[in-house]
Amino acid sequence: MTRPVTYRIVDCPDGRFAVVAWATSGTAYWRGGLLTLAEADACVEDLRAMLSLCGAALACSDHAPDPHTPNWPRPRR
């Protein structure tokens, strides 16, 4: 049975939003540059649809690591 992927919507310092998803392996995936909270919610729903095709679930996590700490992995530019 697959474990759920957890996600968190992050309010970035530049006023934009990001969706951060964590796999059970601990790997973080980041989708940033979202202009509105509605756009971030749509990104989450797209992720939920893709994961359901793989048989995985998506769960919201308020206890996820804080992405504004210095040791947080940054997205590639």
Domain ranges of the chain: 5-60
Q: Which two tokens stand for residue 74?
A: 């940054």
Phi-psi region of 55 (alpha: psi -120 to 50; beta: other; left: phi over 0): left
Task: Tell me which residue of 66, 61, 70, 73 sits closest to 30, measured CA to CA.
Answer: 73
Read off the pTM.
Answer: 0.74
Q: Which two tokens stand for residue 23?
A: 């796999």
Q: Which of 12-16, 51-55, 68-72 has the lowest mean pLDDT?
A: 68-72
Which amino acid is residue 49, in one-letter code?
A: A
pLDDT-derived band at 77, boundaries 50, 70, 90: very low
How far apart CA 29 and CA 2 sit, in angstroms, is 18
Give the residue with greater pLDDT, 18 vs 24.
18
